[in-house]
Structure 1
Amino acid sequence: MSTTKKYDIIGIGIGPFNLGLAALSEPVKELSTLFLDRSAAFDWHPGLMLDSATLQVPFMADLVTMADPSSKYSFLNFLKETDRLYKFYIRENFYILRKEYNVYCKWVAANLSNCLFSRGVELVEYIESEKHYRVQVINSLTGMEEIYYAAKIVLGTGTTPCFPDLAGGIPTKHVIHTSDYLSHRAEIVKSGSVALIGSGQSAAEIFQDLLPETENGLQMSWFSRPDRFFPMEYSKLTLELTSPEYVDYFYNMAAEKRKAILLKQPPLYKGISFDLINEIFDQLYEMSVDNKPLNVELRPCSQLDQISQDASGMNTLHFTQVQQQESFTHKAAFVVLATGYKYKTPAFIKGMESRIARTEDGLFDVKRNYSIGRGEEDIFVQNAELHTHGFVTPDLGMGAYRNASILNAIVKRQVYKVESKIAFQHFGV
């Protein structure tokens, strides 16, 4: 099937950020939009959809509210439409369950006519004579090629699991990333021993999830490179570093200065929630009553250097104790890598590469309004601007603000009010 319709915007990838853009663009009468994703349906981090896990941002950081509180696609309206508003009210908790956020996003996607799933984008190329982009797609439901055209492209293909660069590579058997955790959980429990690598929220959630299994014989060890299991800093004045003023301040710094600042900011976006750290300690305390030995160890200051496997598939993990600079090893049947995610440039952009502005080190040269076009503002990115806009880039709370900025830039008028000053602090001279 082919189409000759030209859209004002085609968004590629339907994660929370582009889904929010789809919802915010729908009521804009002068815009025609289309959003494409290769997945069969919206499903946000299914490998970590633990029953009790919550978002680390308040419910107002939904797809639309911070740009348009009156939107019918708000989380509160979702609750109203699905007869859960009073339950949520009585619960009295700003932090919604991750699985409920996923259900909410599925509800939004199902109610939008501009989102197409099962569409894998193969190539995007600029047609100079027509002054538009040609988007070549494979419909996985039919196996047929589809062609779409757009004046503007918004890249929302998201991040991919990040694996550490280890000597000898990473074994493929019984070594997984947290993104695949739930599909292997039963196997992990039966394996007898598991080593968990990482210092962030995902590592802590998996540790807590498996902790009851250690009373049934599972040996669990948690290794972290930092010198402690640190909480994400969440004080109110620190939260002002997510403000538009701070993004302006950060954006206008020299690239090397931005890199140096980011290296000092992991506690702002890579740590563990304070409550979860306390819950884990309390569980360990309760389990240790009467000085009962635990099948658990926690090892900070541990840098993973290598994983080797013997013929039976048992893993030997080779570490360096960072402060003592001494080597040690640990054996585990299963290894779970909670090593985060990173942006991966999609292969389909090769046909539009000449239109993309890049920095000296090859990263997208992202303008303040999230465009990366060379000369023209016709290509925009979601969650690919950590190096230019700062640590708040992957935060769900930034999504509506960024989408309002993108839509205002495309339409060239204020479709949605974008706050410029919200902080009590002054960040520059």
Structure 2
Amino acid sequence: MKNKVYDIIGLGFGPAGIALATAIKDDEELNGAPIGKWSTMFLEKQLNSDWQPEMLLPNTDIQHHFFRDFATPRNPRSRFTFANYLKEKDRIFSFGLIGGNPGRIEWSDYVRWVAEQVSENTLYSSEILSVEPIYESGQVDRVKVLAKDLISNQNKEFEAKNIVLSTGRRANVPPLFQDQLCSDIFHSSKFKSNMKKLDKEKNHTFTVVGSGQNAIEIILKISEEYPDSKIYSINRNTGFRQYDLGHFSNEVFFPKFTSYYYSLPKSGRMNLLKEMAFTNYSSVDADVSHALYWKVYEENILGKNRIHVTKCSEITGVKRDNDGYRLNITDKYSSSSQEIYTDKIILCTGFKEEKLPYMLEPLRSHLLTDEEGDLVVTRNYQLETREDFLPNIFVNGLTEKTHGIGDSASFTMMAVKAQKILDKLNKIHEGESYMLKETIKK
């Protein structure tokens, strides 16, 4: 039996995949596009579309304005806006009294609320294994997506003309710890599940590595739940820096700045990316900075001295020692070192983009790359391919090097990116329809 050929297969149904699904739905409901114009399928490895479930800590908020949701930047009339979510949940007046950004718990609920409305063509618990070429008449006519059903343990195949990759970035684990990950040494993306395994009656020694928002939130969380435990914070910077929240500097998150960034030569992009870093990376909000500084200060008054913020330093050695680990901590500038004992190591070391996502490996010979081996991505997020490769592959995310810090993995430009991808797909679809009509005429 011949496989159905989908117009679009979305690889991943996290925020980026949901954003595309809402754009397609709005195109039908608000712009008059034919219902069912696209045959779509989204594949998602997780059981559901919960947003950052491992970091849903009480009293933590999102780091972007709530207008930067799934729909408002591209169409405020959409029913998928955060404002409409509040209205439907009968919380719009209550939220207005709170002020500021939504909490992460509420934002996760918003993500789930939207996902439930656009997930009719989504297969959860589906791990994407590979995307492979299908040849016809000496050229690649379409692609085959191989996925594993994690419930039945069976492999499934799907065929598509267009692929939208929305699988997100990978946890960045420092080389020193890559072979040692376990329930005692883990990335912050596994925080809650690993913390559930701990004995709360025992006094632990925690080491939190990193200088960003989730590092300081985790330190505060641990200090509350384990009041008699010791905490080491290993920070490569001069301390926890606050985000660059200047009005003008944050215009890097505007669509027109993305176009400017994209127009630059690669060397210019990389230099500019470094300059923009503190608008998004290795930085913290003022409220958590104040909370941690006050906690350390007050505990010092009480003589507890249990939270140690080590600045300008990095871990240069790790060695197993009975039930814990000996860490060698080296100052970046003086080269002096110290050794500490710890039994839990939490890596708040961020995420990274892959040069070539593993599932695209079978297509490597068909994808164009630059002189440094990076994929060539158009302004509309489409991968450049060889002439004999007919399918279209889009990357929704994984574009920080080409499109800038505001256009990579955050919610900031997610709705706009989804619309640009859909606009390009519509143009491709119109071109195919025109060619089909011309063929029929002949």
TM-score (norm 1): 0.88
CA deviation profile, 1:170-205 (whole Å, cap 9, x unmatched): 364511111111123252753521111100011011
Q: Deviations over 1:121-162 (max 9, x none)?
A: 233223232822222333334444433222211111111211
Q: Does 1:223 align with 2:234?
A: yes
What's the counterpart of residue 69 of structure 1? 76
Picking from 168, 188, 205, the partner of 1:193 is 205
SS, match of residue 242 in structure 2: coil
Cα distance in structure 2, aligned partners of 1:304 and 1:362: 30
1:119 to 122, 126, 129: 126
Q: Secondary structure at the match of 2:316?
A: strand
**After the TM superposition, which of the residue ranges 43-52 and 126-135 deviates more from structure 2?**
126-135
Distance, in Å, in 2 between the alignment partners of 1:350 and 1:161 is 19
The amino acid across from 2:400 in the alignment is: L
Between the aligned partners of 1:359 and 1:196, the Cα distance in structure 2 is: 37
Could you give the per-residue CA deviations for residues 223-272 of structure 1, whole angstroms, max 9, x where no partner exists?
10012211111111111111223222222222223223323332121111
Instruction: Select which of 364, 386, 400 maps to 2:415.
Output: 400
Q: Find out whether 1:109 has 2:120 as its counterpart.
A: no
Cα distance in 2 between the residues matched to 1:208 and 1:199 = 13
Q: Which residue of 1 aligns with 2:424?
A: 409
Partner of 2:397: 383
Other-structure match for 1:368: 379
Counterpart mapping for 1:165-184 below 5 A: 165-166=175-176, 169-170=179-180, 172=182, 174-184=184-194
Question: For the Cα contact (< 8 Å) 1:171–1:309, is it kept in 2?
Answer: no
Looking at structure 2, the residues matched to 208 and 167 of structure 1 have their Cα atoms a distance apart, in angstroms, of: 24
The residue that corresponds to 2:271 in the other structure is: 260
Q: Please, which runs of 5 or more residues in structure 2 have no aligned partner? A: 431-442
Amino acid at match of 1:343: E
Pick from 292, 308, 317 the counterpart of residue 280 of structure 1: 292
The yes-or-no answer on 1:320 pairing with 2:320 is: no
Q: Relative to structure 1, is the Cα distance of residues 377 and 245 closer, same or farther in structure 2, using a 3 angstrom cutoff?
A: farther
2:24 is matched with which residue? 25
Alpha-carbon distance in 1 for matches of 2:10, 2:92: 31
Question: What's the counterpart of residue 206 of structure 1?
Answer: 218
Call closer, same or farther: CA 1:117–1:210 in 2, change over 3 Å: same
Larger deviation, residues 348-357 vs 199-208: 348-357
Deviations for 1:96-116, whole angstroms, at most 9, x for unmatched residues?
111222122122222112322
Is the counterpart of residue 246 in structure 1 residue 257 in structure 2? yes
1:4 alignment partner in structure 2: 3
CA RMSD in angstroms, aligned pairs only: 2.5
Q: Is the 8 A contact 1:307 1:316 kept in 2?
A: yes
Q: Partners of 1:381 and 1:305 in 2: how far apart?
A: 36
Structure 1 segments, 4+ long, off by >4 Å, are none
User: Residue 99 of structure 1 is aligned with which of 99, 105, 109?
Assistant: 105
Distance 1:3 1:224 in 2: 56
CA displacement at 1:379 relative to structure 2:
0.7
**Residue type of the alignment partner of 1:236:** H
Q: Secondary structure at the match of 2:405?
A: coil
Choose 45-54 or 179-188, whichever is displaced more.
179-188
Q: Secondary structure at the match of 1:412?
A: helix
Q: Does 1:162 align with 2:168?
A: no
Question: Are the equivalent residues in 1 in contact too, given 2:141–2:391 (CA < 8 A)?
Answer: no
- Residues 224-233 or 253-262, more deviating: 253-262
Q: Secondary structure at the match of 1:50?
A: coil
Percent of residue pairs identical = 26
Partner of 1:358: 369
Whole-angstrom CA distance in 2 between matches of 1:156 and 1:3: 27
Equivalenced residues, count: 410
What is the CA-CA distance between 1:213 and the residue it aligns to?
A: 4.3
